[in-house]
Chain A
Amino acid sequence: MNAITHPSRRGLLATVSSALGAFTFGFHAPLVKSAAAQGSNAVPEINVWVVVRPDDTVVIRIARSEMGQGTLTGLAQLVAEELECDWSKVTTEYPTPGQNLARNRAWGNMSTGGSRGIRDSHDYVRKGGAAARIMLVQAAANGWGVAASECSAANSIITHGPSGRSTSFGKVAEAATRLTPPADIPLKDPKNWKLVGKSIPRLDTAQKLNGSQIYGMDLRLPGMLNAAIHACPVFGGKIGAIDSKAAEAMPGVKHVLRVSDNAVAVVADTWWRAKTALDAVKITWAEGANANASSAAFAEVMKAGLDAPEAAIGNRNGDARAALAGAAKRVEAVYGYPHQNHACMETMNATALWTPERCEVWTPTQNGEAALAATAEAAGLPPARCEVHKIHLGGGFGRRGAVHDWVRQAVAIAKQIPGTPIKMIWSREEDMLQGRFHPVTMCKLQGGLDAQGNLTGLHMRISGQSIVAGIFPQNIRDGRDPVAFQGLNASGGEADIGYSIPNLLIDHAMRNPHVPPGFWRGVNLNQNAIYLECFMDELAHAAGKDPLAFRRALMGNHPRHLAVLNAVAEKVSWGSPTAPVNGQAVFRGLAQTHGFGSYVAACAEVSVSDKGELKVHRIVAATDCGHAVNPQQIAMQVEGSFVYGLSAALHSECTVKNGRIEQENFDTYQVLRMDEMPKVETIILQSGGFWGGVGEPTIAVAAPAVLNAIFAATGKRVRHLPLKHADLRRA
């Protein structure tokens, strides 16, 4: 087990690293073994989720990855709620993917993406807590020779009602581990929750304040060497020739290696020396078929897709084409969304140790099981002879989930240096060039209004890249990517459209560039919400109607979508005059969507100066995620979503020229900083009854709310992101 919040972890690492060089490296990594010995392995578990130590410490196992989103604390709250333990005694640890494999996936899915940490596992983790409580109570009852039904548990204390006797979890834990798990595991009525629904402070803050939190990049193993790597910047290209003479003579350099057929690595005693020597390696690339690819050329491909006769249908009712033909008024617009990099603050990295018998990897990953599969494949060993240790992530945002390209590289390097742990870190430049990018798409929208300004028909044609085709091509059926229609799906399911439109056609002409796509925080909801919500505004304007009233008229059958929209409209007093800020008039824009199981809406308040300078002053956002496990953490996710979403809307794009990404660092790949950050007010609708995700959906309403407010301010529609290219001076 990897202890994640164990206070002595830092001390342990310091000890291990100070022994560096003098230590003969054994087969198993002492770092993790030692951490485990101090963790729960010495104490038998009550079940896979819960260990109780004799001193009453409760160890809750967390299968999903913590990357800042707070899932560690939220999942622990769910277990502890049913366990009835003393929250102040709770600590957490990660089971490893290898243990999950060995125990028949006892911890279920470890994937941490799609905002599914809580929404997909709340049931079984609560049952884990409840089953452990039942067994602890039974063990106490057995000890007293009384019926378990006469006993109850609260705050880690078990009490026998009739006699008033009591004992603690720690005292009966050992006996509880020998009992048969209960077959029937009732869960609490939500109205009796004591921990769930409360803004309990997260469990992992203290170590993030003093530098003691260890990220993948910070790992040190005895005898470890460091690797820097550079892969062909043209996707699909290969190594042509390498001249490494100068690099090999540089201080600290141990190896210059080919990694697969498309990357060069330098291994040295320190990473800085490896990186410096890598810069001195002369590499000639065989760039291949994509050597001349460009964003401009691909835009033409997407444009052609906007009118192509063939497209996969995502949502259809009535006859949109006929409705458009017969409309009193037609509105048409084309929008576009660029490639973007996740740009996690911590660049991709992994530490790998390969021997002919076994391979171990330490890496920040959103999906330990996928990392293990990648490790085994790259190591040429069966998964049972491999292990992955999940290290705290310096951001994930989807980059560290589905594809573990960096893990394969680290293993491929380690395999060439058997028995030596190799820590491979990507430079920021490598991280920017070798992203798995937000897909690029365009969308042509055509709407028809009747003489009264009612929407009678809508056709949305999306043209462009499919993430699923790039990552899970086996999931494409008849040319249809089911995830492409996120936020636009037929009513009643996940990520469904919040409007009833009598004649509707939403289709996708898939056009894939050579740039590899990835699941980027918010995935396809991001651009789909921009397309739909901005065009709704365009339609309202064409109909001469208020954007809120125009939407409401179509939302009668979508009460949850409507509820979040109404919540933000009420909070900002939509329709009332705004107060100027610093002499600038302030304008509002709205957006709403549904995705990752949650309903979200936002109202942005912006001003645009005579020079065309945009200032986003305030955002009011509403989220209905059903059960709100930890409202404070949800508020933090909503605030963070606006930073991510506004970065994307205002600044960020990756463009391709000569087959490669042009932006290599934060000087050209700009992101939001504090000077541009608006005030964010979060409304959480605790409607209960379902479990929605919170890490992603709000991102999707950031851009359209701001774009609609910009139109209100300037009369200008910005239809292609990022906004930095737009001239916002009043029309």
Chain B
Amino acid sequence: MAKLNVNGRIMDIQVEADTPLLWVLREQLGLTGTKYGCGVAQCGSCTVHVDGAAVRACAMPVSAFNEGQKIVTIEGLSPDSSHPIQQAWLALEVPQCGFCQPGMIMAASALLAANPKPTEAQIREEMTNICRCGTYNRVLAGIQRAAGIGTSG
């Protein structure tokens, strides 16, 4: 039995302690916006915020968390898709299939929270999520737009 603080609510979880946070979110809590892409911390599809920092939920057992830590998933990022990253994504039409995008958005929003005016090089280095549809250039432009900094063209 674990207690987690997810999107501002305390949740009781009955699950084996070594279950990855990703699968607790998806299967115990029904928060399927967080995606499974690789299960080995390679792709970033499962990115959530833990106390504001980006965490790959597939590689972390639920036992590593306690109710004092604030876990935020894509469903809890904003009540109405009004986060600057979501707004920039809408304006630039970033998603294609969209499967990687919850992870992209959570990684990008954590990046801006830690570094509100990142350089292009910093964005390229920090954003290691995989997108097979190939949205990288729009992800880059979206982060720059949300940060209020000009694109490199």
Residues of B within 8 A of A427 (CB): 39
A209–B81 CB distance below 8 A:
yes
Query: Does A583 sit at the interface, judged by CB under 8 A?
Result: no
Interface string of B125-153 (1 = CB under 8 A from A): 10111111111111110000000000011
Which residues of chain A are near B139, meaning CB under 8 Å?
A: 674
Residues from chain B with Cβ under 8 Å of A159 in the complex: none
Across-interface contacts of B38 in A (CB, < 8 A): 428, 665-666
- State whether A211 touches B102 (Cβ < 8 A): yes
**Bound-state Cα–Cα, A345 to B131, Å:** 7
Are A394 and B35 closer than 8 Å at their CB atoms?
A: yes
Distance between Cα atoms of A666 and B38 in the complex (Å): 7
Q: Is A147 an interface residue (CB 8 A)?
A: no
Decide if B40 touches A674 in the complex (CB within 8 Å).
no
| A220 interface residue (CB < 8 Å to B) | yes
* Residues in B neighbouring A272, C-beta threshold 8 A: 19-20, 23, 27
Interface 0/1 of A358-401, CB less than 8 Å to B: 00000000000000000000000000000000001111110000
Q: Is the CB of B134 within 8 A of A639?
A: yes
Interfacial chain A residues near B31, Cβ < 8 Å: 211
Q: Which of A45-53, A136-144, A162-170, A199-207 contacts its partner?
A: A199-207
Instruction: Verify if B118 is at the interface (C-beta below 8 Å from A).
Output: no
Q: Is the CB of A210 within 8 A of B33?
A: yes
| Interfacial chain A residues near B36, Cβ < 8 Å | 217, 347, 425, 428
CB of A636 within 8 A of chain B?
yes
Considering the complex, give the chain A residue whose CB is closest to the CB of B44.
A673
Count class of interface residues, chain A: 35 or more
Complex Cα spacing A215 to B100, Å:
11
B-contact bits for A261-298, CB 8 A (1 contact / 0 none): 00000000011110010000000000000000000000
State whether the Cβ of A67 lies closer than 8 Å to any Cβ in chain B. yes
Provide the bound-state CA to CA distance between A639 and B134, in Å. Answer: 7
Chain A residues, CB < 8 A from B77: 210
CB within 8 A of B127: which of A392, A666, A674?
Answer: A674
* Interface flag for B68 (CB, 8 Å): no
Q: Tell whether, in the assembled complex, residue B136 and residue A343 are in contact, meaning their CB atoms are under 8 Å apart.
A: no
User: What A residues does B30 contact at CB under 8 A?
Assistant: 14, 17-18, 220
- Inter-chain CA distance A211–B28, complex, in Å, is 16
Please tell me if the beta carbons of B132 and A671 are within 8 angstroms of each other in the complex.
yes
Which of B27, B81, B98, B136 interacts with A673 by CB under 8 Å? B136
Whole-angstrom distance between the Cβ of A362 and the nearest chain B Cβ: 14
- Please, which residues of chain B bring their CB within 8 A of the CB of A343? 132
In the bound assembly, the distance between CA atoms of A666 and B73 in angstroms comes to 23
- How far in angstroms is the closest Cβ of chain B from A223? 15
- Please name the residue on chain A nearest to B104 by beta carbon: A674
Pair A640/B99 contact, Cβ less than 8 Å: no
* Chain A: minimal CB distance from B80 (Å): 8
Residue of B30, B38, B102 most packed against chain A (CB within 10 A):
B38
**Minimum CB–CB distance for B9 against chain A, Å:** 15
B140 cross-chain contacts in A, Cβ below 8 A: 674, 677
Q: Is the CB of A270 within 8 A of B97?
A: no
Give me 27 A-to-B residue pairs in the complex whose CB atoms sit less than 8 angstroms apart, sorted by A's number.
A68-B133, A202-B93, A205-B89, A211-B73, A211-B75, A213-B98, A215-B99, A217-B32, A217-B35, A220-B30, A251-B16, A345-B43, A345-B100, A345-B131, A346-B99, A392-B97, A394-B35, A394-B99, A395-B97, A639-B135, A643-B131, A643-B134, A666-B40, A667-B42, A674-B136, A674-B140, A679-B153
Residues of B within 8 A of A (CB): 16, 19-20, 23, 26-28, 30-40, 42-43, 45, 73-75, 77-78, 81, 86, 89-90, 93, 95-102, 105, 123-125, 127-140, 152-153
* CB-CB nearest 7 A-B residue pairs: A211-B33, A643-B134, A68-B97, A640-B134, A394-B99, A208-B98, A68-B96
Interface contacts beyond A270-B23, A343-B132, A392-B98: sample of 16 additional A-B pairs, CB < 8 Å, sorted by A: A17-B30, A209-B81, A209-B95, A209-B105, A345-B37, A394-B98, A395-B132, A396-B97, A643-B133, A643-B135, A665-B38, A666-B42, A671-B132, A673-B129, A673-B130, A674-B128
